[in-house]
Amino acid sequence: MPSAEHITETVNRYISLVAKGTADDIVELYADDATVEDPVGAETHIGRQAIRGFYSTFENMERENELTLLRVAGNEAAFGFRLTVKAGDGGMVIEPIVVMAFNDEGKVAAMKAYWSPENVTQL
């Protein structure tokens, strides 16, 4: 089982990479057969290729990201963050709660993001 320290470090690295990393950087955190459901209720992305596609959609946008809350329990984490995506003079802020389950190798096996349009603010 991955340690709480490893899970905490991975979540912080995820927050940082969602702001400044490439889709390839982010995919490195995931297991080969990982699943991503973002937002919950949408189609699940299965496997690294699909997950890379998901993250590449905002790879070239200017972003800032801040971890606002973190809970680690067992081999999972739940956390909140505030992601700002800039576009011209405007942009938007998204504030989800995310849950990640880790496998025995310390990779993210499943990610689910809880948010709806109510949690998006236009700048």
Residues labelled as active-site residues:
14, 38
**Residue 25 Cβ, how far from its own copies at the closest point, in Å?**
26
Q: Are 80 and 68 in contact (CB under 8 A)?
A: yes
Residues 42-101 interacting with its own copies (rule: CB under 8 A): 42, 69, 71-80, 96-97, 99
* Residue number, 22 or 119, with CB nearest to its own copies: 119
**Residue 43 Cβ, how far from its own copies at the closest point, in Å?**
11
CA distances from 118 to 40, 66, 121 (A): 14, 19, 8
Instruction: Output the 3-class SS for 54-100.
Output: HHHCCCCCEEEEEEEEEEEECCEEEEEEEEEEEECCEEEEECCEEEE
**Residue 39 Cβ, how far from its own copies at the closest point, in Å?**
4
What are the residues binding its own copies (CB under 8 A)? Answer: 4, 39-42, 69, 71-80, 96-97, 99, 112-116, 119
